[in-house]
Amino acid sequence: MRAGAKFCTSCGAKCTPAASPAAESAAISFELPQTALKRMLAMVQYAMGTDVVGPREVLNGLLMVVDSRELRVIATDGHRLAMATHPVSAQEAISQKIVLARNTVVELMELLAQRDTPVAIDISPRQVRFRVDGRSSASEPVDREFPDYQSFISSHRANVMRINRQALAQALKRTSRDEPCGVQWVLNENSLVLSRADANPRERKKSCQSSTTGPPCASASMPGICSMR
């Protein structure tokens, strides 16, 4: 273990950080394929904060929530939010949530392989442990409260759009290339029109076919937050 680090790896050896009996009793254990966890992390990692300081420093991490049926990973930098889910089967009828530090997520991505062999995960209030292919990694969670991400997602959705993911990614890239800028979104019945939100005289517009329910609407995204994975 590196001095001052909170993330440790071991090969063929046991690493058992101290934990209280109460914390151990609240632990939840489950397994899922390495490829599934690696993909989940890749889908949300881009939305993690990079240099948030002060009370919102926790946004530099990633929230992991698990119950007896589902694992969720959530990341947000305060402007965008990404969430991925995967079904699990845990024997414990409890739920746990912890915040993983950014360096933990980076090292975990390196640990996981593109294989369907399982990774075993043990989560308690004081520790998360990953065991895969004879290797074990343990980390202390970030001791900060993650924002209520569910309050950011409205339960009432007046507009629902279905669009080809690759077509949307290309349209966003072409609209905001050369220099970062905000993007204006105009949603009609059968199309989505993207345009630069600045006063650039060479304003670009891109249109994508979409399937939409709800009335026409318009919105805008801030510069630099239109990354898609």
Does residue 226 sit within a domain?
Answer: no
Where is pLDDT greater, at 127 or 160?
127
Task: Check if the beta carbon of residue 93 is closer than 8 Å to that of residue 110.
Answer: no
What is the CATH classification number for the domain harbouring 172?
A: 3.10.150.10
Does residue 228 sit within a domain?
Answer: no
Q: Determine the distance from the C-alpha atom of residue 97 to the mean position of all C-alpha atoms in its chain, rounded to a whole number.
A: 14
With 50 as the cut, is the pLDDT of residue 4 above it? no
Does residue 1 sit within a domain?
Answer: no
Does residue 197 sit within a domain?
Answer: yes
Let me know if 182 is exposed, middle or buried by CB neighbors in 10 A (0-12, 13-18, 19+).
middle
Query: Over the stretch 90-139, which tens digit does the pLDDT of each residue have?
Result: 877 788 999 999 999 999 999 998 888 999 999 988 899 999 988 989 99
Six-digit token string for 68? 């007896």
The single-letter DSSP state of residue 134 is T
Helices (H), 165-228: 165-175
Based on the domain organization, do 140 and 216 belong to the same domain? no
Q: Of 121, 152, 183, which one is at a domain's C-terminal end? A: 152
167 residue type, one letter: A
Based on the domain organization, do 148 and 164 belong to the same domain? no
Based on the domain organization, do 103 and 210 belong to the same domain? no
Based on the domain organization, do 118 and 16 belong to the same domain? yes
pTM listed for this prediction: 0.72
Task: Check if the beta carbon of residue 66 is closer than 8 Å to that of residue 31.
Answer: no
Count of C-beta atoms within a 10 Å radius of residue 83: 19
| CA gap 26, 36 in Å, rounded | 25
Q: Which residue range is the domain that position 178 belongs to?
A: 160-221
Based on the domain organization, do 169 and 107 belong to the same domain? no
pLDDT of residue 199: 56
Is residue 85 very low, low, confident or very high in pLDDT (cuts 50, 70, 90)?
A: very high
